């Protein structure tokens, strides 16, 4: 009989009333010693219970010889035993009524088959006692408001104290938590909690994400993700965070193949498709960043600033050259820059010449004598410009640094709009860094991080306007997708499915002989296209199975002979032909849906043919989509102007294209688990319609 009748709430893991440290010792060199010291010295608000058969007490706290002999059922037990003792230890914790085991022991599922088996076993054991399990292969957690440094990371010694605030982190990497803790300390980032989840054998990222969304202290949650265990829950939580006005930032490993391999060996996570994760984030308001350190700093800026209103960025710098490079950087990242109003220009006229009073303002380029009131007038004019949604000040070594920082601190205190401060001052600026830290104003030290923070804020603002991806309405006449045999389907098989979902396609007829082909072409009307239909062929034209632009019977008969030859040469069996109406002119799109193992069907649209491979000009969304969403995707393409009409080229029938894309996405979604992938390449779009001229699909 388990001592606990139900699972302990996750909030109790973050703020435990008591923590038993198995192997607690004064010896800092030992693993258990580091946990012990950090927990005791940083002012843990709960009860610390050392477990050690060789000690009567540890750092002044009464020790117990075994977890089975405690005088209470602790909320947490820290388990960092060697793997051969792991099963027994977890079992003893269960028998002692522990609420949750924090399992630091590594080399389990991320390491070997035996490790994976042991990991499954300890989860079963824990569940049999209604005990939760965090990890294994985790590094514990740091919860400043609770005075809790339950981690072996030595960055805690370096920090000396914990800084409470409203930024939370859930990390699959333990060591990364340590280094981000150090970055946070250097930049005065106040934390509501940092949790490492390791292999997520029992408790996973979403459990803590949910807890931090509910946590009153937390405003921004940062995620370091290798693999998402429950994608639907992740999407739902992202939406609920939005609704509560909280921001989620995420960095995910596995944007490259090398990164994916590294993540897999690190926590045993199948990193899943990066693109699918990115799509889930974009559609549900999670801001993706490409750097974990930047994520913590951005979180701080978001947490300690008001939400961004309308307008664009107003920039003040103290180096003309630095400012020029900075503007390139910001523009590159898609951060919009404000144009001053006439009133702002007039205010700036007093101190700056006409060539020096545009966005960005270089403080040093003022007229007349150097005087701090010049700086104040300029910075305030920019901050107060109604077209400025955020003030960005980049400080490089300059005269009057502390006085200038005072101006920035004043504006930050006003709190009308976000103020982003970048201290590009190296060690030369240590005094002002201390000044900023003391005032608890967020800042970054690299321009790139400022650009990322601004981008994240614009992203959050724009998302708040549009909201999450709406549930699309089923197009008329779709539903009940009929999937036939498994495997790679032929073009006519795929087209039959597409036709049942109302996706337009050119008239086509099967033929076995030249006579049948000629008869078909007569009905369809020249010019026609002739294709050879053979199972197992992925790219028909590579083999010479596609003959386009056949103007008359002579051309058609020649094409039939050639295609028949290919069948013989490639041993494709008895030739089967498909005679198709030729869709002339227009542009060729590729429309594909891949069924992601964790995130489900993922739609991709782009310009077809060689453009996909060379330009990678594609856009993604989760399927199904509405025609409006399809249009938004097409508008994200660099080559969108080719559809919209450019330089005398006619506009294409975008509405027909979007309708076709939406219907293809519904077919894919309705195929459910049967779908591996489906691709229409090309969807030919002309000024008068859109047609699927090819189709390929793999079903399971």
**List of residues contacting Mg ion (CB under 5 A):** 681, 694
Q: And the tokens for 205?
A: 């990222």
Residue 527's nearest CA partner among 503, 499, 506, 510 is 506
Q: Identify which range of 190-198, 313-321, 579-587, 624-632 contacts ligand ADP by CB under 6 A.
A: 579-587
| Residues with Cβ within 8 Å of residue 131, at least 6 apart in sequence | 2, 4, 90, 93, 94, 98, 99, 100, 101
Contact yes or no for 531/578 (Cβ under 8 A): yes
Q: How far is the CB of 527 from ligand ADP (least distance, A)?
A: 9
Q: And the tokens for 59?
A: 């750092």
- Give whichever of 215 and 694 is closer to Mg ion, judged by the CB atom: 694
Q: Which does 357 bind (CB under 5 to 8 A by kind): ligand ADP, Mg ion, none?
A: none
Q: Which of residues 45-104 bind ligand ADP (CB under 6 A)?
A: none
Contact yes or no for 139/153 (Cβ under 8 A): yes
- Give whichever of 152 and 681 is closer to Mg ion, judged by the CB atom: 681
User: Is the link from the previous residue into 682 a cis peptide, with omega within 30 of 0?
Assistant: yes
Pairing of strands 587-596, 600-607: antiparallel
Q: Which of residues 130-189 bind ligand ADP (CB under 6 A)?
A: none
- How crowded is residue 642: how many other Cβ atoms within 10 Å of its Cβ? 18
Site string for ligand ADP, 481-510 (x = CB under 6 A): -------------------------x----
Residue 498's nearest CA partner among 698, 699, 692 is 692
Q: Which does 639 bind (CB under 5 to 8 A by kind): ligand ADP, Mg ion, none?
A: none
Judged by CB under 6 A, the residue of 590, 694, 697, 699 near ligand ADP is 694
Site string for ligand ADP, 448-487 (x = CB under 6 A): ----------------------------------------
Phi, psi of 683 (to 5 degrees): -95, 110
Q: Which does 548 bind (CB under 5 to 8 A by kind): ligand ADP, Mg ion, none?
A: ligand ADP
Q: Indicate the SS3 state at residue 175.
A: helix
Q: Which of residues 646-685 bind ligand ADP (CB under 6 A)?
A: 681-682, 684
Q: Which does 693 bind (CB under 5 to 8 A by kind): Mg ion, ligand ADP, none?
A: ligand ADP
Q: How far is the CB of 576 from ligand ADP (least distance, A)?
A: 14
- Give whichever of 594 and 681 is closer to Mg ion, judged by the CB atom: 681
- Give whichever of 555 and 632 is closer to ligand ADP, judged by the CB atom: 555
Does residue 421 interact with ligand ADP by CB under 6 A?
no
Does residue 580 interact with ligand ADP by CB under 6 A?
yes
Q: And the tokens for 221?
A: 């949650």
Judged by CB under 6 A, the residue of 201, 391, 409, 546 near ligand ADP is 546
Phi, psi of 620 (to 5 degrees): -120, 155
| Residues with Cβ within 8 Å of residue 354, at least 6 apart in sequence | none
Q: How far is the CB of 109 from ligand ADP (least distance, A)?
A: 41
Site string for ligand ADP, 581-620 (x = CB under 6 A): -xx----x--------------------------------
Sign for the pseudo-dihedral over CA of 59, 61, 63, 64: negative
Does residue 540 interact with ligand ADP by CB under 6 A?
yes
Distance CA 482, CA 486 (A): 12
Judged by CB under 6 A, the residue of 529, 556, 692, 697 near ligand ADP is 529
Distance CA 540, CA 546 (A): 6
| Residues with Cβ within 8 Å of residue 86, at least 6 apart in sequence | 79, 103, 105, 118, 122, 136
Distance CA 345, CA 608 (A): 48
Q: And the tokens for 137?
A: 């292969």
**Residue 301 Rama label (left phi>0; alpha psi -120 to 50; beta):** alpha
Q: How far is the CB of 478 from ligand ADP (least distance, A)?
A: 23
Residue 622's nearest CA partner among 605, 638, 599 is 599
Q: Judged by CB under 6 A, how many residues of this single chain contact ligand ADP?
A: 17
| Residues with Cβ within 8 Å of residue 678, at least 6 apart in sequence | 494, 592, 593, 664, 667, 668, 671, 695, 696, 697, 698
Q: Which does 295 bind (CB under 5 to 8 A by kind): Mg ion, ligand ADP, none?
A: none
- How crowded is residue 690: how many other Cβ atoms within 10 Å of its Cβ? 29
Q: Which does 546 bind (CB under 5 to 8 A by kind): ligand ADP, Mg ion, none?
A: ligand ADP
Q: How far is the CB of 151 from ligand ADP (least distance, A)?
A: 54
Q: How far is the CB of 485 from ligand ADP (least distance, A)?
A: 19
Q: Which does 185 bind (CB under 5 to 8 A by kind): ligand ADP, Mg ion, none?
A: none
Bridge partners of residue 220, in order along the sequence: 167, 247
Q: How far is the CB of 630 from Mg ion (least distance, A)?
A: 20
Helix residue spans in 392-513 (DSSP H): 401-414, 430-438, 447-466, 491-500
Q: Which does 539 bind (CB under 5 to 8 A by kind): ligand ADP, Mg ion, none?
A: ligand ADP
User: Is the link from the previous residue into 352 a cis peptide, with omega within 30 of 0?
Assistant: no
Q: Which does 238 bind (CB under 5 to 8 A by kind): Mg ion, ligand ADP, none?
A: none
Q: Which does 529 bind (CB under 5 to 8 A by kind): Mg ion, ligand ADP, none?
A: ligand ADP
Which residue's CB atom is positioned nearest to Mg ion? 694
Q: Indicate the SS3 state at residue 573.
A: coil
Q: And the tokens for 19?
A: 């923590």
Q: How far is the CB of 679 from Mg ion (least distance, A)?
A: 8
Distance CA 410, CA 403 (A): 11
Q: Identify which range of 234-242, 248-256, 324-332, 575-583 contacts ligand ADP by CB under 6 A.
A: 575-583
Judged by CB under 6 A, the residue of 548, 564, 639, 676 near ligand ADP is 548
Residue 659's nearest CA partner among 495, 470, 478 is 478
Query: Which residue reads 């608890």 in tokens?
Result: 440
What does the angle CA 483 – CA 489 – CA 490 come to, to the nearest 5 degrees? 125
Q: How far is the CB of 521 from ligand ADP (least distance, A)?
A: 12
Q: How far is the CB of 452 from ligand ADP (least distance, A)?
A: 40
Q: How far is the CB of 613 from ligand ADP (least distance, A)?
A: 13
Q: Which does 600 bind (CB under 5 to 8 A by kind): Mg ion, ligand ADP, none?
A: none
Judged by CB under 6 A, the residue of 367, 539, 635, 649 near ligand ADP is 539
Q: How far is the CB of 533 from Mg ion (least distance, A)?
A: 13
- How crowded is residue 331: how many other Cβ atoms within 10 Å of its Cβ? 12
Length of the chain counted residue by residue: 700
Q: How far is the CB of 477 from ligand ADP (least distance, A)?
A: 23
Contact yes or no for 162/191 (Cβ under 8 A): yes
- Give whichever of 202 and 578 is closer to ligand ADP, judged by the CB atom: 578
Q: Identify which range of 96-104, 194-202, 318-326, 578-586 contacts ligand ADP by CB under 6 A.
A: 578-586
Q: How far is the CB of 512 from ligand ADP (least distance, A)?
A: 19
- Give whichever of 373 and 541 is closer to ligand ADP, judged by the CB atom: 541
Find how far residue 503's CA is from the centre of its chain: 32
Q: Identify which range of 464-472, 536-544, 596-604, 632-640 contacts ligand ADP by CB under 6 A.
A: 536-544
- Interface residues toward ligand ADP, by CB under 6 A: 506, 529, 531, 539-541, 546, 548, 580, 582-583, 588, 681-682, 684, 693-694
């Amino acid at each position: 009989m388990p001592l606990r009748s139900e699972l302990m709430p996750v909030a109790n893991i973050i703020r435990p009333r008591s923590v038993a440290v198995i192997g607690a010792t004064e010896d800092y060199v030992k693993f258990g010693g580091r946990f012990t010291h950090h927990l005791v010295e940083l002012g843990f608000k709960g009860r610390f219970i050392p477990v050690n058969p060789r000690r009567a007490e540890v750092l002044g706290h009464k020790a117990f010889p075994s977890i089975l002999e405690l005088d209470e059922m602790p909320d947490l037990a820290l388990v960092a035993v060697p793997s051969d003792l792991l099963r027994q230890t977890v079992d003893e914790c269960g028998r002692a009524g522990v609420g949750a085991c924090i399992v630091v022991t590594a080399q389990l599922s991320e390491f070997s088959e035996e490790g994976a088996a042991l990991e499954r076993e300890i989860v079963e054991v824990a569940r049999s006692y209604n005990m939760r399990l965090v990890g294994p292969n985790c590094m514990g957690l740091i919860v400043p408001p609770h005075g809790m440094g339950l981690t072996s990371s030595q960055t805690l010694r370096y920090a000396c104290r914990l800084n409470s605030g409203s930024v939370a982190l859930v990390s699959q990497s333990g060591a990364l938590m340590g280094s981000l803790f150090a970055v946070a300390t250097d930049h005065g980032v106040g934390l509501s909690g940092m949790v490492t989840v390791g292999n997520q054998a029992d408790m996973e990222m979403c459990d803590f994400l949910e807890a931090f969304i509910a946590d009153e202290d937390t405003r921004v949650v940062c995620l370091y993700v290798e693999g998402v265990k429950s994608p639907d829950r992740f999407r739902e939580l992202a939406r609920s965070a939005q609704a509560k006005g909280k921001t989620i930032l995420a960095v995910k490993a596995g944007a490259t193949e090398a990164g994916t391999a590294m993540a897999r060996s690190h926590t045993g996570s199948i990193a899943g498709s990066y693109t699918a994760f990115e799509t889930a984030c974009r559609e549900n308001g999670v801001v993706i960043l490409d750097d974990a350190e930047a994520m913590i700093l951005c979180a701080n800026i978001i947490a300690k600033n008001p939400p961004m209103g309308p307008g664009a960025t107003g920039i003040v710098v103290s180096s003309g050259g630095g400012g020029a490079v900075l503007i390139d950087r910001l523009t590159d990242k898609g951060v919009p820059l404000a144009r001053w109003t006439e009133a702002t220009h007039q205010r700036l006229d007093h101190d700056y010449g006409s060539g020096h009073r545009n966005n960005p303002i270089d403080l040093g380029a003022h007229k007349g004598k150097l005087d701090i009131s010049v700086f104040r007038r300029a910075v305030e004019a920019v901050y107060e410009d109604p077209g400025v949604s955020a003030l960005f000040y980049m400080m490089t070594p300059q005269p009057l640094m502390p006085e200038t920082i005072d101006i920035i601190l004043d504006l930050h205190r006003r709190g009308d709009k976000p103020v982003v401060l970048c201290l590009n001052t190296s060690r030369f600026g240590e005094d002002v860094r201390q000044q900023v830290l003391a005032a608890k104003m967020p800042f970054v030290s690299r321009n790139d991080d400022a650009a990322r923070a601004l981008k994240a804020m614009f992203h959050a603002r724009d998302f708040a306007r549009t909201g999450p991806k709406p549930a699309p309405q089923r197009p008329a006449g779709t539903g009940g997708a009929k999937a036939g045999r498994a495997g790679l389907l032929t073009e006519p098989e795929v087209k039959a499915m597409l036709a049942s979902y109302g996706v337009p396609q050119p008239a086509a007829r099967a033929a076995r002989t030249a006579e049948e082909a000629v008869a078909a072409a007569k009905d369809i009307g020249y010019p026609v296209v002739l294709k050879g239909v053979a199972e197992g062929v992925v790219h028909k034209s590579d083999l010479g199975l596609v003959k386009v632009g056949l103007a008359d019977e002579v051309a058609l008969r020649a094409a039939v002979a050639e295609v028949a030859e290919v069948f013989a040469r490639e041993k494709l069996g008895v030739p089967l032909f498909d005679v198709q109406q030729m869709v002339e002119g227009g542009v060729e799109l590729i429309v594909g849906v891949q069924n992601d193992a964790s995130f489900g069907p993922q739609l991709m649209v782009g310009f077809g043919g060689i453009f996909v491979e060379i330009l990678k000009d594609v856009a993604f969304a989760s399927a199904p989509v509405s025609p409006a969403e399809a249009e938004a995707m097409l508008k994200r393409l660099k080559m969108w102007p080719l559809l919209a009409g450019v330089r005398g080229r006619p506009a294409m029938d975008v509405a027909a294209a979007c309708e076709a894309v939406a219907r293809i996405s519904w077919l894919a979604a309705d195929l459910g688990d049967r779908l591996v992938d489906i691709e229409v390449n090309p969807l030919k779009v002309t000024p008068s319609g859109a047609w699927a001229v090819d189709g390929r699909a793999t079903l399971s």
